[in-house]
Structure 1
């Protein structure tokens, strides 16, 4: 076994996985909340299902509220009646209390 002298420029002690580095960066710049909002909007179909996504025109966040514009009045009424459950599903998916209220337009 050969002995290699440690190079003074070696970064072995500073090596961290990319995932941990990105999470630390998001935390340092307080961007995790925005990333979670983008995740919810981009994952709307996977979270709520294809049937709901097909009748969804627009999804966006503003001040902790999730706004969802739907093209179907019956679906809007049905989801309105279950809006606390929708918020719970989304918050569980994200792993934090991101959605304070869901507004169906």
Structure 2
């Protein structure tokens, strides 16, 4: 019998998918504080995957985790998009690739 340890947050349907493939997943439901820590770990994991393979699929995974974090805190994706758009209008985006090295203050 082969056992592979993952010890990470997975999407809700993953255990059923594993079962359908003839394997036996061992899962539990995390308490809130562990859940949030696992979501942050998952976000870092998904960002690393995107860095290795920049694609729509990997970016969608990042968005899925961000949406789960927002849902936990009662923040809607629509609210986030509105704030994003407001910040874009006021401060711009990142398309100019500007790097701020320093600010010299007079006096």
Larger strand percent: 1
| Same fold, judged at TM 0.5 (above) | no
Q: Which has the higher contact order (CA 8 A, sep 6+)?
A: 1
**Coarse TM-score class (shorter-chain normalised):** under 0.3
Q: TM-score, normalised by structure 1?
A: 0.27
TM-score (ref. length: structure 2)? 0.27
